[in-house]
Every structure is written in structure tokens, then in C-alpha cells.
Structure 1
Amino acid sequence: MKKKIGLLLAVSAMLISVVGCGNNNNKSSGSGDGGSAAEKDSYKIAVSQIVEHPSLDATREGFLAALKDAGIIEKENLTLDYNNAQGDQNNNNTIAQKIAGEKYDLVLAIATPTAQAIVQNVKDSPILFAAVTDPIDAKLIDNLDKPGGNISGASDTNPEAISKLMDFLAENVKDVKNVGIVLNQGEPNAVIMADYAEKALEKHGIKLVKASVTNTSEVKQAAESLVGRVDAIYITLDNTVVEAVSTIIQVANENDLPFFSSDRDSVEKGAFATVGFKYYDHGYQVGQMAVEVLKNGKKVGDMKVTVPEKLDLILNLKAAAEQGIEVTDAMKDQVNDKENNILE
């Protein structure tokens, strides 16, 4: 009888051991392709951002909000490693190398130069990018629908937005012949958008006049160099330029030059108009992609790259008054969401 009891206890111990091992296997640490077997108790995410300015900051905030809504909360079950290169490419590369040397459940790269550095260095963690104009031209991926490897994300540029904005400019700036652009030719995303704008303006017989800069400190002087030569000013999602957008607003206001931007945040600061979206929403969209990777085991390389879809004309009426623009009812009628996108 004692032998039978001893045998039953041994079998029971073995079964408990097997069940215990099975439960431990459900908590996967994830893999470089973005897949994971099951939800984890905690997460570690690295964020790299090229520079601080409202659009990129809003992107990060939206990303974190999406994670929070899915129960991934900083200082509770999320360890966040936030890095800012302060607009310096050497810092950018150093940050990417540092991130590559550690293990993360996911890496978020905000802006094109950041994403390029991260992709070149990080091979073992899933990567999502945001605020990237053209991920194919930037050589981040070669297929928007199925990027493959350990990367995907969201582009912040829909060429249709640039075309619509240039059409609006051509139709509503009186006697416009030349449009000035302050541009860092070293930023591929800015150059691509400038090319889109140039082609759109050519259809109206309008010339794009470029004032080049290499760093933020040159932006005001470049804007001033356009005075007397152009009838309006336009800027792209150029990180170098947007960081100093307040200086362009000052030049535009002092010289009655209509100022058009490619982002809502610059319009909220004092540019007259854009066709765009909220960068917070853009970041939130990328955050939802992150949740799919972290909690649902989605392979990041299988996720389609998205572009902004909720485009609308955004007008700043106070800026219009500062820049000598008469805002007509016909202009306002082109705004779909008048309550949120006509700024008083």
C-alpha cells in the first residue's frame, strides 16, 4: 500500500512540474521580427527623436497615449528609454548605437534621420517609425504593403495634401508669381516634399524660389532673403526649419507675406494655412501598431505602412490678419471641420 501511495505522489509531482513549465513558456520575451507568443507582464521600449518641436513631440505623446489606452503604462508596466538628438546627426548615430546594444521589446524612431540611423544599427528588436515622409526613398523599406524584416510604421506625408495646399495658395494669394521656401537640402524628406510642391505650383505657372539652410540658426536670415522676391512663403516638414518656425512667422507678419506650412502645429503657432492632420493622431496610429506587436504577437514586418487619411484645410484667422490676408467665406467653405480647423 505504501508503494502505491509513493507512486501516486511521484506522478502528481511530475504533472505539477509539467503544468508549471507550460505556464512559464507562455510569457515570451518577444523576438526581432516583432512576434511574441503571449502578452507580457512588463515592456521595455526605446524612443529616439531627432529634435524637439511640436509636431514630433505630439507624435510621441499620441504613441504613448495609444499604449496607455491598451494598458501599457509608463512607470507601471512600461520602462521607457527616451532619447533626443537635439538636431545633431552625431548624437543621432550615437543614440542608435546605444539602443542597438540593449534589448528592447520595441523601438520607436521619430523622423526620417532617426529612422535611418535606427535601421542601420538595430537588428534584434521590432522597429516602428513615425513622422517619416517617404520610407522607400529613405531606404527604410522597399514595400509599403509588406515591409518585411523588423520594421514598419506610418508616413506623415500624403502627396495629395501638398497638391491641395498649393492649389489653395494659387487660388487665394492675389497675383502670386513666386513662392519662397526655406529648405534644408540635407533632409531627404524636406527635398521630396519641396519637389511635390514645385510640380504642383508649376501647373499654375508659379515658380518656387529656394532659400537654403544647413542649421536652425540660419532660418531667419533665409526667410528675410526672400522678402521682395516672393509673394508667399511655404515650408515642408523640414525638422531644421520647423524648429525655428517662429522666426519665419515674424518675417511673414512684418512683411505681409502669406505663410503656408505643411503641419498643423506651425499653423497653430502663426502660419496662415495648411492641409493636414493632428500629429497626435499620427502618433496614436503608430501606438496602435505597437500594441498589435506587443500584446497580440503581430510581426512588425507584416504590417502595412500607413499614411494620413483625415486631411482637411486648416486656417488661422489671426495669422491671416497679421499677414495682410482677407479670409473670404469661400475660403472658409473649403474647411470640412470648421469648429476645429478654423482657428480664431
Structure 2
Amino acid sequence: MKSTRLIAATSISSLTLVVAGCTDSTTTGSGEFSGKTVCVDQYVSAAPTESIVEGLREALGNATRNGLELEVKNPQGDAGTEATIVQQFISSSCDVLIPVGTAAAQLHANATDEIPVVFAGSSTPVQAGLVESTSAPGGNVTGVSDALPVTEEIDAMLEIDPSIASVGVVWKLGDASGDSQSQDAKRYLDSKGIRSVDAQVQSAADVTQAVRSLQGKADAVQIPGDTTVIGSAGGVVKAANEIELPVFGGTSGAVEAGALLAATYDYKEVGKEAGNLALAILAGADPATTPVVLPPISGYAVNLSTAKSLGLTIPDSILQKATEKY
């Protein structure tokens, strides 16, 4: 993790010089990006994806005011609609593709090896086959990672409730982010002497039943961080509340929906970084040699109301790192 963060920090620094030049040219009205099109596949409506798109719009604002076209489509997680959007983007005049999340990024990356792809929010870009490495992506794909620190979340979970002996891990089977991060979570739980209980889903429609299946088998629920389950965080929390289990992980959107705690990114910043990468590539940067960016984690989101209803106390050591409270 430390080495990846160092790579990310270096990439942010180097890209700033390139992007700064792009921004200056657009503000002077030269229209450097006039006639170019950036195509965004939001994939699903959820708090993180909405924030990412907001950040993208902000980062690309000067360029769009000077002729850059920005097209945003959202299939709402529907596989058929998603496939159609991918084909439309590939066959149209898109100069840079920005898929949000790992699943969308894989579809776009598999559909073209010519159009630059800048993913926005993939927690496992190497494991997902999007890039060869975070420092040297090696193809037409680079982007911004949002690898969630499941180990830190588990540590915080145990600090809040040391009596937890088993944890239900909920993820979408076959999703690169879900598969990888769930394995990370389970390995770390095992190292702590805590039993993990699988609660796999095939789609968002399975989430409620998967969580309910944990009744009597787990003391808490962990969301490792795939787009499908995060987008269904409300359903996870509702089902967990029915069986009186605390929910950890996911994003601040999950905590806002009633989860107890999650490590947080400012997803607007994730969107801004993706927008900056897109501008750099439009200005001539090569995705193959443009490192993946990993923004810093901003802290924890905590839900004090949920803690109170479960009879749990959030320690001061965690509250001091809380960037969002509900």
C-alpha cells in the first residue's frame, strides 16, 4: 500500500504540470480541446458515482466552456443497457472513455484497444486486468483507483466492538473488486482469529436475502467494496437492521444509509483526478506510461445514530478521524 501511494503521489505531481498547461490554454479561449469528446459511463446511480461525475464536470469545466464535448450516460446497472452504451461510445466520436467503477471499466477496456480509457474508481485495477501495473499500465487504460482499506475498517470494527467473533462478508461473485477485496477481508479476519461467513450475490436483487442468511451465523456485516453491493447499501443496511447486525465498510453513502462505519474517499476528488487524467491524455500523454492515481483516504464516516441503536460506543480515537458523522 505504501509503495502504491508513493507511485500515486508521484503521478499526481507529474500530471499537474501537464494539466496546468491544458487549463491555461482553455481559459485563454484557444479552444485546444474544441471538437474533442469525453464520454462518461456512470454505470449506476449511487452516492460515490454521483460525486465522481460532479468532480469530472468540475475538472473539465474550463475545457467544456471552450469547445470540449462531455457526454454522460447511466445504464443504472442494467447489463443490456450497459452493453449498448459501450458499443455506442466505441462507434461514436469519443476521444477518451471514462467508465465509473471496475465492471464498467472492464467492458470498455475489452471493447477497444485504441480509444484511451480512464477508469474512475476501480479498487483493483491490476487484478481486474485493466492495467499491467499501477506504475506502468502498459496499454490504452489508466485511471484513478479507490482501493478501500478493508484491514483498517476491520481494525476499527474491532475497536468499536471487541466481542465480534464472526463477520458476514457480502460481495458480488465474479466482480473483480468484490472477489479481490473480499479475499483481502477474509484473510485479515482469519489473521485476527475471526471467522468469516460468505454472503455472495449475483446481482443487486440478491442482496437482501444474502444479508438475511447471516442471521445466527455472524456478529457483523462487512461490505468489501464492489459497485453492485455499494449501490445496494440501503438494502444491506435494512436487512442487517432486521437481524440487528452492525454493517461496516462500503462508502460514506452506506454509512449515510445506516451502516456503522466506513473508511472514506472524497469521491468528488476521485472524479477530479480522472478529469485531470483525461485532459492530460487529450494533450498528448500516453495511457501506457501514465501511472494510476490513488487519492488519499480522507478518514472515516460514522453513524452515531446507528451506534446508539445498537448499544455501541464509537471510541474517541475513531471520532477524531471522522470526516462525516450521521
TM-score for both structures, normalised by structure 2: 0.84
Matched, 1:57 2:47: no
**1:76-135, Cα deviation, whole Å (9 max, x unpaired):** 623222222322333323322221112222111111121111112223322101111211
Residue 343 of structure 1 corresponds to 325
Give the deviation of 1:157 after TM superposition. Answer: 0.3
Alpha-carbon distance between aligned partners in 1 of 2:213 and 2:74, rounded to the nearest angstrom: 31
Q: Aligned ranges for residues 1-344 of structure 1 at < 5 Å? A: 39-68=32-61, 71-73=62-64, 77-158=67-148, 161-294=149-282, 296-333=283-320, 335=321, 338=322, 341-344=323-326
Instruction: Tell me if structure 2 keeps the 8 A contact 1:48–1:110.
Output: yes
Q: How many equivalent residue pairs?
A: 296
What letter corresponds to residue 64 of structure 2 in structure 1? I
What letter corresponds to residue 245 of structure 2 in structure 1? L
Give the deviation of 1:272 after TM superposition. Answer: 0.9
Give the deviation of 1:187 after TM superposition. Answer: 1.1
Alpha-carbon distance between aligned partners in 2 of 1:275 and 1:332, rounded to the nearest angstrom: 12
Identity over the aligned pairs, expressed in percent?
28
Report which of the two structures shows the higher radius of gyration computed on alpha carbons: 1
Give the deviation of 1:205 after TM superposition. Answer: 0.5
- Would the alpha carbon gap of residues 104 and 163 (structure 1) be closer, same or farther in structure 2, given more than 3 Å must change? same
**1:291-318, Cα deviation, whole Å (9 max, x unpaired):** 2223x33223221001232342321212
Instruction: Tell me if structure 1 keeps the 8 A contact 2:64–2:70.
Output: no
RMSD of aligned residue pairs (Cα, Å): 2.0
Moved more, 250-259 or 58-67: 250-259
Alpha-carbon distance between aligned partners in 2 of 1:139 and 1:172, rounded to the nearest angstrom: 36
What letter corresponds to residue 45 of structure 1 in structure 2? V
**1:145-200, Cα deviation, whole Å (9 max, x unpaired):** 12133221011105xx2111111112321411101122211212101111111111
Alpha-carbon distance between aligned partners in 1 of 2:55 and 2:291, rounded to the nearest angstrom: 19
Tell me, which stretches of 5 or more residues in structure 2 are unaligned?
1-30
What secondary structure is seen at the aligned counterpart in 2 of 1:275? Answer: strand
Instruction: Tell me if structure 1 keeps the 8 A contact 2:146–2:265.
Output: no
Give the deviation of 1:215 after TM superposition. Answer: 1.6
Tell me, which stretches of 5 or more residues in structure 1 are unaligned?
1-37
**1:276-303, Cα deviation, whole Å (9 max, x unpaired):** 2121111111111122223x33223221
What letter corresponds to residue 40 of structure 1 in structure 2? F
